[in-house]
Each structure stands twice: as structure tokens, then as C-alpha cells.
Amino acid sequence: SVCFPAENCSRAAVLARAEELLAERTAGGDPLAHFLKGQLYYEEGLYEEALIQFEKIKDEDFQAMYQLGVMYYDGLGTKEDPEKGVEYMKKILGSDSPKARHLKFAAAYNLGRAYYEGHGVKHSTEEAERLWLIAADHGNPKASVKAQSTLGMFYSASVTKDLKKAFFWHSEACGNGNLESQGALGVMYLYGQGIRKNTKAALECLREAAERGNVYAQGHLVEYYYNRKIYSTAAAAAKRITKNDDIDTLAKVTHCLPTYIAKGLALAAFYLARCLQLGRGVQQDQAAAKKYYSKACLLDPGVASDLELAANLGRI
């Protein structure tokens, strides 16, 4: 009989039953069985077993080839081999097979990442941009939304700055449900970056993104409340945000970049420190203020340094 987790079945028993069912499908000649078995192992974190299954069918199954590309690139279940990962992604992108079509956007995004990082291929910002534009496909919701958001970040960076393009791509990604871009869009509206300043639109984006767990948006809301002199709201929000500073876990849960999570936490920590130092919205507490100033510096020295300068100049 099939055993369900709701009946307090152990995870191992569920896995064993799934393996049994897939073995029956393999014996019956089901071409999908090997892939499903590999995917089952992959999702369970049993990467070496997953690799074996995908290797068996990579020549006739593009989805298996794609998974192998990811695994070799990131060193999951095998020694890291980014060149091999890149080779598989290029095969998918260059294939004329209709079976590879649905994987092309994701393969182009991953190849763009490889060129940007210079991992498995020679670093090329131009090639990364070209591949991400293919993957983003003019904002198509069925394309790589991750590529759309990445282009928003790419055009916000100092070396490749084009804020109008950044705003366009964050708008497309946000419209397609991307949480990272929703927060970034709020900040762009708030400060008039790449678009005319619009506080109402900014707060809509930031509040919704913050509710969905975007820490960068949460940090900017703290800054907004502080600058509006709504100190008790700023301090309460900052205290709540800084309770959880496990950046890796937050990144996994929200699918947001660790760098931007750290920036959001640093903003919250600094403004909380300022409130505690000056007794704004909370009882004055110099020792706690010092602790949160240090925390902000550790989380993002750049953010902390900019805010310290603003504080010294009497701007905040």
C-alpha cells in the first residue's frame, strides 16, 4: 500500500516506495522513468545517485543534459567541472530539436552567468549581456524571469549603468512575479532612478515586496520612515528585521541575492542604532546603539560608511 507522510511515514519509506514505483516503470520501458528517478534523488539532495541516472539518458533527454550542466557547473554530486557545465548548456542552446526548445531560456541564463563570472569560459560582460537578453526574451513571462531581473541589476551596476534599461527590466521581471525586482523597482521610484520620482508607486512596491520577505525593501522602508520622522515605526520595523540575519537562509527562502539582503539588513541596523543613540522612537540606549552600529558595519561596510557620513553631516 502507498504510504503517505501524513500517516507519519518516515522520509526513507516514502523514498523507497517512490523508487519501487519508478523501477516498475523502468522495467515497463517508460522513457521518463530514469529522468524522474534522477529528479527524485536530486530533490532529496542525493546528488551522486541523481548524476548516475541523468548520465544514462543525457544523449536522448535534454532535460537530463540540462540538470547535468547545472550539477557539473556547481559541483553537485561530482567534482566541480564548469567547462563541462558550459558545454552542456551550449549544446541545448544550439540544438534544433523541439525537445530542447523549452530549456533554451534557462540555458541562455546559465551561460550568461558563466560568462559574467568567468567560470568555465573566459569572462565577457558583453557575452553575458547578449545571452541574458536572449534568455529574457523582451519580458516574455514564459522566458527566464531570473534573466529579466538580472538585467535590471546588470544595468544598475556602475560599470554598465543605464538606469532607464534597469527600470525597464525590473518592471518586466516584477510584472512576471519576481520579488527581487519588486524591491528594486520600489527604490527606483522612491529616488527617481531611471524614472520620474513617484512616492506612491514606490511605497506600493516596497510594502508589497517587504510583506513577501524582500529584506532590501524592508531596509528601505525603515529609511523612508526615519527620514519622514516616523521614528517609532522605523525603530520597530528595524528591530524586527535585524532579528534574523541568517543571510544564506533568507536567500534560499526568498530567492533574493545575498548582497542585497545584507544591504537591507545594514540599513535597518544603522537606523536602529541611530534611533537608540538619539532616543528617537525608542528609549535612549548607548550600549545597544553601539552594538547595532557594529552590526551594520559587518553586514555591509559600504552602506554603513555612507550613512555614517550622512549622520556626521547632520543629514540623518
Q: Show pLDDT as tens, one digit a residue, over the chain (316 residues).
A: 444 555 446 788 888 888 888 888 877 778 788 899 999 999 999 999 999 999 999 999 999 999 999 999 999 999 999 999 999 999 999 999 999 999 999 999 999 999 999 999 999 999 999 999 999 999 999 999 999 999 999 999 989 999 999 999 999 999 999 999 999 999 999 999 999 999 999 999 999 999 999 999 999 999 999 999 999 999 999 999 999 999 999 999 999 999 999 999 999 999 999 999 999 999 999 999 999 999 999 999 999 999 999 999 999 9
192 and 281 both lie in a single domain: no
206 and 234 both lie in a single domain: no
Boundary residue ending a domain (154, 181, 212): 212
Distance CA 42, CA 37 (A): 9
Neighbours of 226 (CB within 10 A): 24
Boundary residue ending a domain (193, 212, 231): 212
229 and 280 both lie in a single domain: yes
Helices assigned H by DSSP within the chain:
11-27, 33-43, 47-57, 62-74, 82-94, 104-117, 125-136, 145-154, 163-175, 179-191, 199-211, 215-227, 231-242, 247-254, 258-278, 286-299, 301-312
What range does the domain containing 200 cover?
Answer: 144-212
DSSP calls for 253-294:
HH---HHHHHHHHHHHHHHHHHHHHHTSSS---HHHHHHHHH
258 and 289 both lie in a single domain: yes
What pTM was estimated for this model as a whole? Answer: 0.88
Query: Which of 284, 278, 275, 281 lies closest to 232, judged by CA?
Result: 281
In a domain, 13, yes or no: no
Per-residue CA distances from 38 to 42, 43, 86 (Å): 6, 9, 20
Q: Which amino acid would we find at residue 79?
A: K
Count Cβ neighbours within 10 Å for each residue of 99-125 and write b for 16 or more, e otherwise: ebeebbbbbbbbbbbbbbeebbbeeee
Distance CA 91, CA 104 (A): 10
Structurally, the chain folds into a number of domains equal to 2
Distance CA 186, CA 189 (A): 5
CATH number of the CATH domain containing 185: 1.25.40.10
168 and 201 both lie in a single domain: yes
241 and 294 both lie in a single domain: yes
Query: Which of 204, 185, 203, 205 lies closest to 195, judged by CA?
Result: 185
272 and 203 both lie in a single domain: no
Q: Which amino acid would we find at residue 301?
A: P
